[in-house]
Amino acid sequence: MYSDRIDEFFSDQLCEWELAKLNYSQLNKVKTREFSFGTFEIFVQFNPGRIRSSAAKVDPKSIGERPCFLCRRNRPKEQRDLNLENKLSILVNPYPIFSRHLTIPSDIHTDQRIRSNFDIMLSLAEIMHSYTVFYNGPQCGASAPDHFHFQAGNRGFMPIEKDFTNGMNASLLIADHGIEIWKWIAYLRGIISLKGNDRKKLVEVFGSVFDKFAEFQPENPEPMLNILVEFSSDEWIVHIIPRKKHRPSQFYREDSTQLLISPAAVDLGGAIITPREEDFLMITKGDIEDIFTQVCFDEEEIAEILKGIL
Ligand SMILES: [Zn+2]
């Protein structure tokens, strides 16, 4: 099984690669704060190793001037890869959020795009069923928008997984021949979730959501999306999180009220990462509400996207 091969590969890398070993061992000491929103919780993780990602410059000029860290020739010599089908490779992420955190880049240097690659994401989740596979769009979280990649983290870490299962904030809109479409209520961020075992149908519905949403953001190379996929009990669960903005206003403040938070799939999955301790200590429940509201769509706007699809 792939999951076993990945676990073995992961353990081998931690033995061979000092930096990865050190960073994963430090993860045990990471500090967290929990915030309750009544029917769900969000936690904040203080993780200094993530500064590279949170503060990454992703404008075309900065991207063009740096060596791409996902291209094989630029990777650290200790970082081995596990080849998959579909011209992807699994790498151990040396700056982890999860106790098992993988980066899954394409073998070739090509733009971050999901429309024609969503099917691959489903395949990955299926073979890596102890992981949640996630995608950050080129303009909303990917720190290598020029090199197509997914990431994956061990399941059971992000609150959204259990929030979906316990059903307090997710509401079923439609169930039709092997696919369910869900929306979220009073969850601070608008999300469309799909569940089912019919791959073809999931790809089709995802395509419809994507195309509809693209009409809202015609100026972008693709509509801004974060996506999480897990495979459990022979079904896929897909959370599509449409985005309005890459970073909230707090990120750009130049005084002591700045919060260096750059939300992507994991943060919106309920695990907010703060690379700086001052932000970890300062952030309030109100800040979280405000940040999520700025960067995500609300329920009415999600309903608008879903119009015509249902
Ligand atoms: Zn590259």
Alpha carbon of 108 to ligand 1 centroid (Å): 7
Alpha carbon of 23 to ligand 1 centroid (Å): 23
Alpha carbon of 110 to ligand 1 centroid (Å): 7
Q: Which amino acid is at 99?
A: S
The neighbourhood of ligand 1, an ion, using CB within 5 A, equals 68, 70-71, 109, 147
Alpha carbon of 231 to ligand 1 centroid (Å): 28
What is the pLDDT, as a whole number, of residue 2?
79
Alpha carbon of 239 to ligand 1 centroid (Å): 27
Phi, psi of 131 (to 5 degrees): -120, 155
Query: Is the confidence at residue 33, as pLDDT, over 80?
Result: yes
Task: Specify the residue for token string 């094989």.
Answer: 72
Alpha carbon of 92 to ligand 1 centroid (Å): 16
116 and 74 in contact (C-beta within 8 Å)? no
Span 32-60, mean pLDDT?
Answer: 91
CA 269 to chain CA centroid, nearest Å = 7
Phi, psi of 176 (to 5 degrees): -145, 110
CA distances to 245, 246, 252, 261, 267 from 291, rounded to whole Å, are 10, 11, 12, 9, 11
Categorize the per-residue pLDDT at 38 as very low, low, confident or very high, splitting at 50, 70 and 90.
very high
Measured distance CA(306)–CA(181) in Å, rounded: 10
Alpha carbon of 88 to ligand 1 centroid (Å): 12
3-state secondary structure of 235: strand
User: Within a 13 Å sphere around the CA of 238, how many CA atoms are in the beta-carbon half?
Assistant: 31
Percent of the chain predicted with pLDDT > 90: 87
What is the pLDDT, as a whole number, of residue 291?
98
Alpha carbon of 71 to ligand 1 centroid (Å): 4
125 and 110 in contact (C-beta within 8 Å)? no
Alpha carbon of 104 to ligand 1 centroid (Å): 12
Structure tokens given for 177 = 């021949």
Alpha carbon of 112 to ligand 1 centroid (Å): 10
**Cβ within 8 Å of residue 30, ≥6 positions away:** 45, 46, 47
What is the pLDDT, as a whole number, of residue 177?
79
Measured distance CA(27)–CA(33) in Å, rounded: 15
